[in-house]
Chain A
């Protein structure tokens, strides 16, 4: 459990300016499922799951992903962005219990 909130980002090792880069992101998170009582009705409570993922590059938002409990445990996402300048790429995961988990990858040109 102690690993909750660990973010891993994978970017390709060689990036050229102007490339469209595909990034893979993983966060360790339980993503609680909906619990059901004996009658098959869902129990209403404040489930702990990631509901928002924000990708920023050079301070600008590239993509926002709103997720629900239908996303797997330890969410694994991939997305693209256009690399124009060297700088940080940040992915921020926010969950319903106010947890905020961040991962940063430095984009460098080789």
Chain B
């Protein structure tokens, strides 16, 4: 924990980064179970079914768990009043379930993110979307992993 804080202090020195580096900003790469992680990020806020809004592209079978392409696209007008604020990519069975958190601004024009992630074992991959008004949507899909991405 202390080491993490030290690194945090050092990186702030490099400047340029507009977003404030709070403890929460460092909160992504934590080893925990997915239930704990979701509780930590969203508390008791309900996760609505977002299958109408969110397009989650994952392979059905991942032959190599070390590199699994994931793409998330959300239908949104992306105006300052109504845009997608965060996209979370969550891999339920990973040691670190919150794979990444994307913070978007309306200048992105489209709520889209693609990433190559690791998967330790067969399990659900979720995309959780937080709109600018605070509502949460999620979709999930199971991915079968043939060769583990190992301890990620």
Q: Which residues of chain A have a CB within 8 Å of any CB of chain B? A: 20-22, 24, 33-36, 42, 45-46, 49, 51-52, 54, 57, 60-73, 75-82, 92, 94, 96-98, 100
Contact = CB atoms under 8 A, between A and B. Distances in A.
Contact of A65 (B101, B110, B116): B101
Contacts of A49: 29
Interface in B59-105: 66-69, 71, 91, 94-105
Tell me the interface secondary structure of chain A in the complex.
Answer: strand
Interface string B112-128: 11111110000000000
B108 A68 contact: no
A72 B29 contact: no
Given A34-B31, A64-B103, A96-B7, A77 B19 contact: no
B115 A42 contact: no
A61 B105 contact: yes
A82 B78 CA distance: 10
Contacts, number: 149
Contacts of B102: 63-66, 79
Given A98-B10, A100-B14, A34 B96 contact: yes
A96 B25 CA distance: 13
B116 A76 contact: yes
Interface string B1-44: 00110010011001011110000011011110000000000000
B17 A94 contact: yes
A105 B114 CA distance: 19
Given A45-B3, A73-B66, 10 more contacts: A54-B18, A61-B19, A64-B19, A65-B100, A67-B29, A68-B29, A72-B68, A78-B114, A97-B7, A98-B14
A100 B116 CA distance: 20
Contacts of A54: 16-19
B38 to A, nearest CB: 15
B11 A94 contact: yes
A75 B116 CA distance: 6
A69 B96 contact: yes
Contacts of A52: 11, 17, 25
B134 interface: no
Contact of B115 (A34, A36, A77, A80): A77
A34 B117 CA distance: 14
Given A54-B16, A65-B100, A82 B152 contact: no
A21 B25 CA distance: 27
20 contacts: A33-B152, A35-B151, A42-B95, A45-B3, A54-B17, A54-B19, A61-B18, A64-B19, A65-B100, A66-B25, A66-B100, A66-B102, A66-B103, A69-B29, A70-B98, A71-B100, A71-B117, A72-B66, A77-B115, A100-B14
